[in-house]
Structure 1
């Protein structure tokens, strides 16, 4: 991914408030692993400091730090498409998810290597035995969902730019020294089904259901 970004050097607008992604929806839901920032604070601070000089970078606050497992869809009073759910539908989904993850225990996640998507800056998330992908697959099968994010990562910032904006050379130079650097580690203790306000930049996600890993 890094070499692809370096070759193309283009930025795109990112973020959950983007109307091209959310349309008329005002809330979305996702299964996530919340990141324990206190165990990674120095590494995250270094990555933030590298990105802070660029005015188009929108850094995420601590309460927004998570690793996405499955994007569920949008909440609406009257669902009309497969990616729309009512509150009752989401409650049923949470029950199915609880059964799907009931056999999983806690596991360690290592955060390392600052990287860039066209629309965001991120830190890679690594496990020891493929637990993240196994957990994702269990949720997808158990809940009958299709949406699956790319490689496991912690999104650190969105880019507020126009489509096909040239990436400044300084951005690549700022990220390069942190490409192979450990950020920190934490223990994944639960999966959260969260609801996000799509009309607010960084409102604290609401925990609709918490699924313990034990």
Structure 2
């Protein structure tokens, strides 16, 4: 029996892509909210830059750690399923074969067809057939928490650079408007990409992200402006 080791199969590629899209989206939104809020309170470029950099670094680390923990839990669960099915097959291979046949029958196959499919599927690797039937996983395509964490960290970092660069580049009077425009455009792009990955409607995903981002930025700017006016 082949050892269970992570590889770069379809599941692993999708895992990294998902982490990257979510990381970029969170980097854009969280950093934009911070710098716009601070820009509402003060025009001091150093204060805005410091808050943006803190949000970028802290958010990227936090995102990577969260992704690592989440994917590690998923990987541990998948490995537990693999160990369970391997033990069941060793203890009662005939019973497991019958279980597989019943699973195919529940999917709509007749018993003769289910028997034929089960024999063919278990001819070379019975464990793989059981894992796909019962859990929808592949023993040779276990997700890696390290690659997910790295993808999340890098994408958050890059995404956070977008609003940070936008708020620091122009003169003070253009900082907030330009950050709004750049941030919403970046959110529209990530919304389109995530929708295409998931097979959903890009229009609705983009609209949700852009509206949510606009509301979030408006609220944080307003809070910063009120705080700045009160302190000032």
Normalised to the residue count of structure 1, the TM-score between the two structures is 0.24
Greater fraction of residues in strand: 1
**Taking CA–CA contacts closer than 8 Å with sequence separation of 6 or more, which of the two structures ends up with the larger relative contact order?**
2
The TM-score, its normalising length taken from structure 2, stands at 0.23
More helix by share: 2
In our comparison, the structure showing a higher alpha carbon Rg is 2
